Amino acid sequence: MVPKPIEPRLFTTMQNMNINCASWEHPVGPAVFALDKESKLKLSVEARIYGDVVVVHCEGRIVYRDEAAALSRVVGELLHKGTKLVLDLSGVSAMDSAGIGELVLFETWAQQRNAELKCAGATTVVRTLLDITNLDSVLDVYDTVDEALESFREQSVAAD
C-alpha cells in the first residue's frame, strides 16, 4: 500500500476550493416557520403545599432548553432555606441529559440551602435513567408521592 502524494491531499494555506460558490436563498412560507410549533413548552409544572412540604408535579418532557429551564426556575424559587420538596415525576414521559443535569442541580441547591429534596413516582423511562446514571443512589427516590411525604413525617418523628 502506497500513500497518495502529499500535494493533492493537504494544503499548507487555506484556500477556497470553489470560487463560484453562492449562498442559497432562504425559502419563505409556512414550512419555514413550522419550527415554532416545536418550541412550545412541553412541560407543565404545578406546585402544591401539603403541610410543610411542597410537591411539584411535572407533566410532559424534561429536556434541553425551555422545559428544563422552566422546571429549574420553579424549583429554584421553591428551594428556600429549610424547604421540604417532593418532585413528582409520575407524569414525565421523556428526559434527556439536560433533565438529568437539572436533578443533580436541584440536589446541589437543596444541600446548599439546607433544604430537603425527594423524587417520587418516576416512570419506567425516568427510573431507568436514574438507575443507569446511578443517580438513584444520590437522590432520595420513592415509588409514590405518598411514600415521599411519609418519609418526611418519619424524619420529624425521629427528630423529636
Print pLDDT tens along the chain (160 aa): 666 555 555 445 555 554 454 444 544 444 444 444 444 779 999 999 999 999 999 999 999 989 999 999 999 999 987 899 999 999 999 999 999 999 999 999 999 999 999 999 999 999 999 999 999 999 999 999 999 999 999 877 776 5
* φ, ψ for residue 12, nearest 5 deg: -85, -15
What pLDDT sits at residue 5?
57
* pTM above threshold 0.75: no
Rg (CA), the chain: 24
What pLDDT, on a 0 to 100 scale, did the predictor assign at position 7? 55
What is the Cα–Cα distance from 71 to 103, expressed in whole angstroms? Answer: 10
* Sheet with strand 53-62: strands edge to edge: 43-50, 53-62, 84-95, 116-120, 140-142
pLDDT of residue 82: 81
Q: Which pLDDT does position 74 carry in this prediction?
A: 93
> What pLDDT is recorded for position 33?
40
Question: In DSSP terms, which residues pair with 59 in a beta bridge?
Answer: 44, 91
pLDDT at 23: 46
Into which CATH architecture does domain 42-159 fall?
2-Layer Sandwich (3.30)
Residue spans of the domains in the chain: they are 42-159
